[in-house]
Amino acid sequence: MVGAALSLAGRDLRLALRQRSDAGTVVLFFVLVASLFPLAIGPAPNVLLRIAPGVIWVTALLAVLLSLERLFLADFEDGSLELLTLAPTPLSLLVLAKCLAHWLTTGLPVILAAPVIAVLYGLEADAFAPLIGAMLLGSPSLSLIGAIGAALTLGARRGGVLVPLLVLPLYVPVLIFGVLAVDAALAGLPARPHLLLLGALLLAALPLAPIAAAAALRQAVE
């Protein structure tokens, strides 16, 4: 059962590696959009420092959002999804595997690129650890919650437009605590409570989101 889920995650990773442009787009989008703000707002260091946590988080969120549509779409279109719903492994476990692969190919690269943006905004070194920590705890939730939206909009025309409408409201808690963790560190306060809340969100999303997405996928293949 776990072997089947791992082989699905492995297949998705292999597909992502062979079609590098897909995963590359997400990181490139993140870096480009985040570096647009200084150009638009001006190079005043205090302003940039003030908006840095918010910009990094909102941009990361949008970058993940950009990649959600194709989470299940290719499998849906080529018939693999039908077969996955018929596999003896529970579908929610397979969804979890796909979320893991999605996070490894979108969330993780964005986290790796985040320090570059942080330097660009003149973020102090003290705030780096909370920023990375918050993103490590928050971004898996983005993949998991996003999977529900991606599954619900499968088969709907203009599904790509619907996903943000469904998913963004659910991303708000992750955004708030993610930004607060960095803000707290910048203000010299402990970031720990916010990180704990992000962890709690992740622990809630980990079992619940795959179940909800699996139910939506069964509807989609009917």
Q: Which is nearer to other proteins, 78 or 124 (CB)?
A: 78
We find the least distance from the C-beta atom of residue 28 to other proteins, in angstroms, to be 21
In the chain, the amino acid numbered 10 is: G
Query: Within 13 A of 51's CA, how many CA atoms are on the CB side?
Result: 17
We find the least distance from the C-beta atom of residue 6 to other proteins, in angstroms, to be 8
CA distances from 15 to 74, 85, 101, 121, 144 (A): 11, 20, 10, 34, 20
Determine contact, residues 178/198, Cβ cutoff 8 Å: yes
We find the least distance from the C-beta atom of residue 20 to other proteins, in angstroms, to be 11
We find the least distance from the C-beta atom of residue 74 to other proteins, in angstroms, to be 8
Determine contact, residues 9/89, Cβ cutoff 8 Å: no
**What is the dihedral sign for C-alpha 74, 153, 176, 121?**
positive
Q: Which is nearer to other proteins, 79 or 169 (CB)?
A: 79
Q: Which is nearer to other proteins, 33 or 221 (CB)?
A: 221
Residue ranges binding other proteins (CB under 8 A) = 3-4, 7-8, 11, 14-15, 18-19, 77-80, 82-90, 94, 221-222
Q: Which is nearer to other proteins, 15 or 132 (CB)?
A: 15
Structure tokens at 172: 């708000």
